[in-house]
Structure 1
Amino acid sequence: MIFDSAKNLDFYKNLGVEGRYAKAVDFLKNTDLENLAPGKYEIDGKNVFANVVEYTTIPWEEAKYETHRDYSDIQYVISGTETMTYAPIDELNIKVPYNEEKDVVFYDNENPGLKVVVKAGEYMIFNPWDGHKPKAAAGEPAPIKKVIVKIKEN
């Protein structure tokens, strides 16, 4: 798990395989994120793509821990504020088994985890071994827009 801000994106260009993080960073730095409509954006086929989402955050207790087997996430907040929570995968209890089509496992909320308030221009990187709980309100539920860049790790 990594928490950082937009000014440091270049530092992460050399992570991963086949320049995939570099493509993700270039997309985040060179795209007018504020004017992107919600939807899926192909960057490098199934290796790197982005999902732009808008929603109202929910109480922490209603958000769900998840992990992915094949993809890392860069969850970049475009506008608004969200609490994202991290917990090691081996400290979570599976609630909904792996869905291969969606590349996701869901867990129960027993682990309080490490909560991070993520503001516009900030992001968290979650790898397949990182349990993460997005969508939680930082205080009262509020609108948010973010982009989740998915990077294939295998």
Structure 2
Amino acid sequence: IDGNRLFVNIVSYPTTSPENRFWEAHKDYLDVHVPIEGTEQIDLNFLEDLEVGEYKKEEDFQAAFGPARMHAILKPGDFLVCYPQDAHRTAIAVDGKPEQIRKAIFKVRIC
């Protein structure tokens, strides 16, 4: 949309259990999750409350490990903004019922 300052990734995948997913955070971009089809749970925690793994600058990917502090259930019409301190674990099945979802993830450069 605006080069590397603002772009969008359209993704589609099945939701699953938390054990099959990973935590992530980003330093250079905000994530704005916008569901298009299906319902997804996103687990959230502050990065400072998790064990932090390797940061991959070229992918703007901060690995993290630990428990969820809260959850957001997203369906079409909702959106979620994740800031650099907001670790998130996406694609969690709501009520343990997997489903195929499709969503837009807007990446907004902040540095």
Range class of TM-score, shorter chain: over 0.9
Partner of 2:14: 56
The structure whose RCO (Cα within 8 Å, separation 6+) is larger is: 2
Partner of 1:77: 35
Deviation per residue, 1:108-127 (Å, 9 max, x gap): 1x222201111112111001
Deviation per residue, 1:83-140 (Å, 9 max, x gap): 0111111001024x011111001111x2222011111121110011111111111131
Structure having the higher strand fraction is 2
Structure having the higher helix fraction is 1
SS in 2 for 1:111: coil
| Equivalent pairs, count | 110
Unaligned runs of 5+ in 2: none
Structure 1: which 4+ aligned runs deviate by more than 2 Å?
Answer: none
Matched, 1:120 2:76: yes
SS in 2 for 1:101: helix
Question: Which residue identity is paired with 1:77?
Answer: P
Alpha-carbon deviation of 1:61?
2.1
Provide TM-score, normalisation by structure 1.
0.69
Two-structure CA RMSD over aligned residues (Å): 1.0
Partner Cα distance (1:112, 1:127) in 2: 16
Which of 81, 86, 111 in structure 1 is aligned with 2:67? 111
Bigger radius of gyration: 1
